[in-house]
Chain A
């Protein structure tokens, strides 16, 4: 992988989100616009100042619209300008930010609006039904698998290989929902206990209701600008210093599910670009993708912030708490804030952006932070996207 750093510097100067809720009354276009407007307001820009628009959204079937990028272009401000949609399943949110980065870094655009939107509430009878058609049409679809099944397999494998208990994993849910209580955009913040998680309804063993993030509607947007002009708009630009993304092959049944090797690849790409050699020492705050509680631990290991199988131990010691050494998901993550797929990924980047800028309000972590990492994950347990930012 070539990362020779000849690229232009790129700064994030604004971000905005809609609240994440089970059912928003706005249309997808309206939600995209609300997030975009807030991001533009924070950046001090108007839509006419924007050169290009990048749109991120996961399966079209959620919103029930074919060519969803075209449809969303109207709400996201992508009319009469270059506008395109990027897509890597659940990892789309961070990929949207990465695409925003390379639109600027390549010199193609000076000011880019990156918008991610998802409206899952329109899925009938349940958004889970959309996942019935993500499988190989010949070898897997006839078995009618459910997404929670395969994640149950992954969780089980992770627990078995690393000798992790359900109690240890439940701590992630407890931490994230607690963090989300101070997030004004959050759908499911609150104080719960490990017992609550263990007593919640079993969906597919070992996955229980409180191990899983909720179904949500929401949108998020960010403004990225050329480093040369960033200080015209803000005194505190946040710099995008590293990006990485990797897709593993399609055949998930052949994969060792206990460790996300594809994430390590993506992280190495981003770290190399950002000049990070010892991630655990150099990274101050992290937003790993946590649609399930075990995924946060899985991803912390893939991001090399913990050795393989060591993340549960560090979590128990408070290493990843809001006042710990590397606060993990200080926003409350998907488990607490909600999971409108692509928007949730971009929310992770926005959370790091606000932390580094020092404007995270009640979510702000205690110790000073200078380097943050946001990550998302998707497809058939095969895609990961990583972004490193510094202030």
Chain B
């Protein structure tokens, strides 16, 4: 398969409440920045297909796909929606280019959780209506609590380790302009917090954030028309482990295992230790270590305690702060990690892996291997 280059990327928001712009205006701003980043391209003439990633219930609009084309320049063009995480959209863009139907594809995703008044109720609607929803769960974080406990029991990761993840990521976020939840915390600050659902406290749980991200993809033939130093996606995969909570095997990110095996074989990458950085979903502190483990890194607890994943060490994980510092922009979460990875590689690193997750209550995620 042909490599696909990221030739432009733009973002807007990453604020807890973008009160002065609608989601469509945020999409437009992010798209403008992405097209500027891709050498000032004209989307009306130079883009072959557009993909938007969104879900109706997050938008509060039925058939929210109707609003996809205008802000990104996709009207009267092949535009479609992938109802999933931005990284799944990226994979669809990758496929459109490799199928020969397009040379340049724009992938967009956005989130405006500040408009959602009943966030936990919306999450509850994603649960099985027969088996799970009827249980009237008071707090959807309980799924993460179960998952975390099982993961910690299996791998020996301790509550202190989770606190260290929180400290590392929230501090790393101070280096970017996109991290409203970045802060300098001490271990006591984290450990003294009351548990929301054991073993997770308020600071272990990332918060939703408003944001839009637009990525411009181009085939090998076309990439250098727009950018001298494209970031290549050499492998990409996504997978669903299970869609039913009652049948899921908790404690292990099987979706990341499956997705990474697809992406690594496509990229001919033998081991995740051979890249310069990992950008993994850390909506809950334990998820960072769980995803790193599922990418194929063994003994995560020991490695983490040795400082393996800290910045400046062998394999920095979320050196831009991850979701704990930035918040997670719903379906744009995967693209926000891609954005971090692209920035990181433009600063000099030569390769990175991105691993996304769709959040509670799903068992779906994607993995992309990127090289300069």
Question: Which of B68, B82, B95, B242 counts the most A-chain CB atoms under 10 A from its CB?
Answer: B95
Say yes or no for A163: interface residue by CB 8 A criterion: no
In the docked arrangement, what's the CA distance between A378 and B62, Å?
13
Say yes or no for B100: interface residue by CB 8 A criterion: yes
A84: which B residues are within 8 A, CB to CB? 82-84, 88, 91-92, 238
In the docked arrangement, what's the CA distance between A134 and B57, Å?
11
Say yes or no for A265: interface residue by CB 8 A criterion: yes
Q: Contact partner of B100 among A7, A74, A88, A89, CB < 8 A?
A: A7
A74:B75 contact, CB within 8 angstroms: no
Say yes or no for A325: interface residue by CB 8 A criterion: no
B225: which A residues are within 8 A, CB to CB? none
Q: Contact partner of B75 among A87, A249, A273, CB < 8 A?
A: A249
A60:B55 contact, CB within 8 angstroms: yes
* Contacting residues of chain B (21-69) with chain A, CB-CB under 8 angstroms: 48, 55-57, 60-63, 65-69
Min CB–CB distance B169 → chain A (angstroms): 26
A106: which B residues are within 8 A, CB to CB? 1, 94-99
B67:A67 contact, CB within 8 angstroms: no
- Chain A binding surface, main DSSP class: mixed
Say yes or no for B241: interface residue by CB 8 A criterion: yes
In the docked arrangement, what's the CA distance between A310 and B78, Å?
27
In the docked arrangement, what's the CA distance between A67 and B364, Å?
11
B65:A244 contact, CB within 8 angstroms: no
A67:B1 contact, CB within 8 angstroms: no
A133:B66 contact, CB within 8 angstroms: no
In the docked arrangement, what's the CA distance between A3 and B60, Å?
36
B91: which A residues are within 8 A, CB to CB? 82, 84, 108
Interface pick from A97-105, A182-190, A212-220: A97-105
B247: which A residues are within 8 A, CB to CB? 74
A247:B79 contact, CB within 8 angstroms: yes
A245:B80 contact, CB within 8 angstroms: yes
Min CB–CB distance B1 → chain A (angstroms): 5
Say yes or no for B70: interface residue by CB 8 A criterion: yes
A69:B83 contact, CB within 8 angstroms: yes
Min CB–CB distance B118 → chain A (angstroms): 11
Q: Interface size of A by Cβ–Cβ distance < 8 Å?
A: 72
Question: Which of B65, B67, B126 counts the most A-chain CB atoms under 10 A from its CB?
Answer: B65
In the docked arrangement, what's the CA distance between A59 and B59, Å?
12
In the docked arrangement, what's the CA distance between A39 and B204, Å?
45
A86:B81 contact, CB within 8 angstroms: yes
In the docked arrangement, what's the CA distance between A101 and B95, Å?
10
A8: which B residues are within 8 A, CB to CB? 99
B65: which A residues are within 8 A, CB to CB? 87-89, 247, 379, 383
Known: A61-B56, A82-B262, A131-B62. A246 touches B78 (CB 8 A): yes
Known: A79-B240, A249-B69. A59 touches B83 (CB 8 A): no
Say yes or no for A253: interface residue by CB 8 A criterion: no
* Contacting residues of chain B (78-129) with chain A, CB-CB under 8 angstroms: 78-84, 88, 91-92, 94-103, 122-123, 125-126, 128-129
Say yes or no for B186: interface residue by CB 8 A criterion: no
A69: which B residues are within 8 A, CB to CB? 83-84
Q: Contact partner of B61 among A134, A245, A262, CB < 8 A?
A: A134
Min CB–CB distance A253 → chain B (angstroms): 13
A247:B68 contact, CB within 8 angstroms: yes
Q: Contact partner of B76 among A103, A130, A251, A262, CB < 8 A?
A: A262
B79: which A residues are within 8 A, CB to CB? 88, 245-247
Q: Contact partner of B126 among A66, A80, A83, A105, CB < 8 A?
A: A66
Q: Contact partner of A108 among B80, B95, B244, B364, CB < 8 A?
A: B95
A79: which B residues are within 8 A, CB to CB? 240-243
Say yes or no for B170: interface residue by CB 8 A criterion: no
Q: Contact partner of B80 among A58, A247, A265, CB < 8 A?
A: A247
A246:B77 contact, CB within 8 angstroms: yes
B81:A88 contact, CB within 8 angstroms: yes
A89:B63 contact, CB within 8 angstroms: yes
B362:A99 contact, CB within 8 angstroms: no
B81: which A residues are within 8 A, CB to CB? 86-88
Known: A70-B362, A247-B79. A134 touches B243 (CB 8 A): no
B60:A250 contact, CB within 8 angstroms: no
A102:B240 contact, CB within 8 angstroms: no
B61:A70 contact, CB within 8 angstroms: no
In the docked arrangement, what's the CA distance between A89 and B99, Å?
24
A65:B125 contact, CB within 8 angstroms: yes
Say yes or no for A81: interface residue by CB 8 A criterion: yes
* Contacting residues of chain B (335-350) with chain A, CB-CB under 8 angstroms: none
Cβ contacts A to B, 22 pairs, < 8 Å: A3-B101, A7-B101, A59-B63, A66-B55, A70-B126, A71-B128, A71-B243, A73-B364, A80-B240, A82-B258, A83-B238, A87-B82, A88-B81, A102-B96, A102-B101, A103-B95, A243-B101, A245-B79, A249-B76, A265-B76, A269-B78, A383-B65
Q: Which residues of B contact A (CB under 8 A)?
A: 1, 48, 55-57, 60-63, 65-70, 74-84, 88, 91-92, 94-103, 122-123, 125-126, 128-130, 237-244, 247, 254, 258-259, 262, 358, 362, 364
- Sorted from nearest, which 4 A-B pairs have the closest CB atoms? A106-B98, A105-B99, A106-B95, A249-B75
Extra contacts besides A6-B100, A101-B99 (13): CB < 8 Å? A2-B100, A7-B101, A66-B57, A66-B123, A67-B55, A73-B243, A84-B238, A95-B80, A105-B98, A131-B62, A247-B69, A269-B78, A378-B63
